[in-house]
Amino acid sequence: MHDIEPFHLWRDDYIASEDKLSPFYRREYSEFHFTDKIYNHYIHPQWDSFGSSTLYCKILYANYEQQLVVIELMGEWNDALHNDIMELKRGIIDPMIKQGLVKFLLIGENVLNFHASDELYFEEWWDDIKEEDGWILGLNFRQHIIDEMQEHQVHNYVHIGAHYNDILWRKVKPHDMLDFAENLLLKSLGA
């Protein structure tokens, strides 16, 4: 797991630790000192901790004019034991919503497991953004994670499903991500 790095090719356009409005403003990183673990496996030091012991993230891009943020996730999303959605909502999402970000693109290809509890924090998140035409879109989550999320009604608040898998989002320039994501949403809603 230590060699799974967050996507870094958009760093010319955005770096969360240099964004005064980011929850990770002024965070310093090491390329050589591995300190965070998921269970007994060290993870790459570029991932950001937000209070969960098994789920980490990286804010890849935020555009305040477009009200968009792209967040890559990594690890085990465990709401049943660790209430990771609460940690994510309180530590990352709430501060971003306060800055006007209401369109959330979650990259889930490095999320290995999902253990649900209830959908209350997802519902709260949706309630916080729906008046501003916001949305939450999950790209490239593994099928067993999608199945678990759907079983626990998370799909009522997060756009997830097979039609959002195998999406080549890395080929899109960050400033084109809003159009890219909204086109995906329109296609799937029309299908």
Q: Does residue 119 form part of some domain?
A: no
In a domain, 180, yes or no: yes
Q: Quick check: is 71 in a domain?
A: yes
Q: What domain range is 70 assigned to?
A: 48-105+126-136+167-191
pLDDT one digit per residue (tens) for the chain, 191 residues: 567 899 999 999 999 999 999 999 999 987 778 888 888 888 888 999 999 999 999 999 999 999 999 999 999 999 998 899 999 999 999 999 999 999 999 999 999 999 999 899 999 999 999 999 999 999 999 999 999 999 999 999 999 999 999 999 999 999 999 999 999 999 887 65
Write the single-letter amino acid at 16: A
pTM of this structure? 0.95
Rounded Cα distance between 107 and 89, Å, is 16
Would you say 101 and 93 are in contact if contact means Cβ atoms under 8 Å apart? no
Q: Is residue 144 part of a domain?
A: no
Q: How many folded domains does the chain comprise?
A: 1
CB 93 within 8 A of CB 57: no
